[in-house]
Amino acid sequence: MTHTLTDSEFYRVLSCQRRRLAIEFLWDAAAPTPLSTVADAVAAVEAGVDPAPRAVRESVATSLRQTHVPTLERHGLVVDRDEGLCATPAAKHVVRRIRDTGPFGLRWSEQYRAIGVLGLCSVVAALAGIPLFAAVDPLLPAIVALAAYAGSSAYHAWTLYPRGARSPRGTAVEEEWHPTSA
């Protein structure tokens, strides 16, 4: 099944740290990886020691094999091939949301900070009369920086939700939620 995860599916599937670690590891591996290798990596993170103790590695391998990998497969994020486990192209969106990264691999906060710092430096350089910037009205770099910030914010908001669910309420926009009375 390869569909875009709704927000509720995203949070339900990735509510478990082992699944988050496994999908990130498989995405970074970019090649078929044996379950034992994935289990070793996840166990090392959980134990805080590399290599993790044998009992931890075995526990992680068992839970991945029996529960977590089938869940990731069912949601189209992982495929189990003869050569090993692979992240699917659908996992890209999930990993980007887990890591909170934008299209350039930067965290959104880093991207916004870079736009702000570059915009501020450009305005100050134009006001200070630094060559190349002196010929530009200081209002121009301010407008460009604000436009970049607005465009980046719009893109961030656009990619935050799956294509079929542009609302935080998902696809059931017409249904209103009312708390039950006590």
Select from 28, 26, 34 the least CA-distant residue to 86: 26
Q: Which residues pair with 71 in a beta bridge?
A: none
**pLDDT tens readout for residues 42-69:** 998 888 888 889 999 999 999 999 999 9
pLDDT tens sequence for the chain (182 residues)? 445 677 788 788 888 888 989 988 888 887 888 988 889 989 988 888 888 899 999 999 999 999 999 988 988 889 988 888 988 888 887 887 777 777 777 788 888 899 999 999 999 999 998 888 888 899 999 999 999 999 988 888 877 654 444 444 444 433 443 344 43
**pLDDT tens readout for residues 80-100:** 888 889 888 888 878 877 777
- Residue 6 DSSP SS3: coil
> What is the C-alpha to C-alpha distance for residues 37 and 85, in angstroms, rounded to an integer?
10
Task: Give the pair of three-digit tokens for residue 43.
Answer: 């166990």
Task: Give the pair of three-digit tokens for residue 113.
Answer: 């900070």
> What is the C-alpha to C-alpha distance for residues 49 and 27, in angstroms, rounded to an integer?
22
User: What pLDDT score does 80 carry?
Assistant: 87
User: What pLDDT score does 121 carry?
Assistant: 93
> What is the C-alpha to C-alpha distance for residues 152 and 108, in angstroms, rounded to an integer?
9
**Cα-Cα-Cα-Cα dihedral sign, residues 120, 122, 123, 127:** positive
Q: What is the dihedral of CA 69, 75, 76, 77, to 10 degrees?
A: -60
To 5 degrees, how large is the angle CA 113–CA 117–CA 121? 175
